[in-house]
Amino acid sequence: RITAKVRSFSGWVVFCCCCCLPLLLTSPLPPKGTGVVSNAHQACRLRKINFQQPYIRNRTYTLAEMARISDQDTDNRLIGQQIYVNIKENNRCYMMKRIAEIIVKDVLLTEAKERYPYAEDVAQFLASLTSELSRCVIMDGLQFQEILDLMLLGRASALHPSLRTSLL
């Protein structure tokens, strides 16, 4: 389980609030050529208005700042576009959906509720986003969940070499 392996609780809160939300806006581009967007791609779109609500934006950044101040673990970071390294473009949205689900379940709705005043609000917001993405699915047949778990645990080197080179 991710909860047993996460070393830095505050680091996850910072990651969730500062990195996860902006990256959810960057969904993969539709396939070129046909002019028709697949249903799977349409299922992986979020409305921009979700991110323009000042109330939740302020709570999210306040939560991130509080967690950043209390964070002592600087070894493990997943920042910005670096999280997409070696991830095929058509799987990025699914990856962000899974990361948001993990952060809500294993970080924000655990001890964060008592430790940070806005954790529950941000968790509800992220849960509503993942609900909107409920039809978003992985585009190839690889063992995506196992790979994602290893990536989140910082153990991508534990992957079989053929998976590391193609990493989705």
Q: What is the mean pLDDT of residues 145-168?
A: 52
Q: Which CATH number fits domain 2-166: 3.90.700.10, 1.20.1250.10, 2.60.40.10, 1.10.1840.10?
A: 1.20.1250.10
Give the model's confidence band at 164: pLDDT under 50 very low, under 70 low, under 90 confident, else very high: very low
The pair of three-digit structure tokens given for residue 20, joined into one six-digit string = 């996860």
Residue 138 φ then ψ, to 5° = -70, 140
- Rounded Cα–Cα distance for residues 32 and 145 (Å): 27
Judge contact between 17 and 60, C-beta under 8 A. Answer: yes
**What residue segments make up the domains of the chain, in order of their start?**
2-166
Q: What is the mean pLDDT of residues 30-35?
A: 42
Calculated CA dihedral for residues 155, 156, 158, 164, nearest 10 degrees: 180
- Rounded Cα–Cα distance for residues 29 and 111 (Å): 37
Residue 124 is predicted with a pLDDT of 93
Asked whether residue 6 carries a pLDDT value surpassing 50, the answer given is no
Q: What is the mean pLDDT of residues 26-36?
A: 42
